[in-house]
Amino acid sequence: MLLIDGFPIKGFFLYNYSKLSPIQNQRGLDMAENQNPEKWKQNIPDIYFDRMQLTTTVLGVNFILSVSDPTVIDVPEGGAERIKLPKTDVAVIRTSPTHAKLISMLIKKQLKRFEENTKTEIQIPEEVYKELGIDPSDW
């Protein structure tokens, strides 16, 4: 059983990717060949991401984790136009809305504890709050 912050978490599923093309299988583990939990624990990928797309439906929440491509972009004069930066998707995470809410609450709890223990505040630029439509007081 998986524990997050000491709480038992249920609802993790092993998807059978064996019907995907070889190119699709390169995006993650071929779980059909790794049904033994001890075997797939050894193959857990270490993923870095600096971008995330989040979609929600009545039945699920999808996180698409991406990393920005190291590309030089010419910014138009004045910088008023939106620029779409190239990215590479590195993982897709699917879960239930209930589980996603629980995870978000646990992440917030852990980060608040980190800020308290280190006596620092994680800084987010005001422009980022505005771009994402988030109120800093929600933290």
User: For residue 60, is it within any domain?
Assistant: no
User: For residue 139, is it within any domain?
Assistant: no
From 48, 50, 33, 41, select the one nearest 12 (Cα to Cα): 41
* pLDDT (average), residues 120-138: 92
pLDDT in tens, 70-93: 765 666 666 555 556 678 888 999
Alpha-carbon distances, residue 45 vs 26, 40, 63, 90, 107 (angstroms): 12, 10, 16, 10, 20
User: For residue 87, is it within any domain?
Assistant: no
User: For residue 36, is it within any domain?
Assistant: yes
Q: How many domains does the chain have?
A: 1
pTM: 0.57
DSSP for 62-103, written as a single string: EEEEEEE-----PPPTTS-S-----EEEEEEEEE-HHHHHHH
Alpha helices in 1-139 (DSSP H): 22-25, 37-41, 97-118, 126-132
User: For residue 73, is it within any domain?
Assistant: no
pLDDT in tens, 103-112: 999 999 999 9
pLDDT in tens, 7-33: 444 444 333 334 444 444 444 445 555
User: For residue 15, is it within any domain?
Assistant: yes
Above pLDDT 70, what percent of the chain?
A: 60
User: For residue 8, is it within any domain?
Assistant: yes
* Residue 28 near residue 17 (C-beta atoms within 8 A): yes
User: For residue 11, is it within any domain?
Assistant: yes
pLDDT of residue 85: 67
Domain span at 13: 1-45
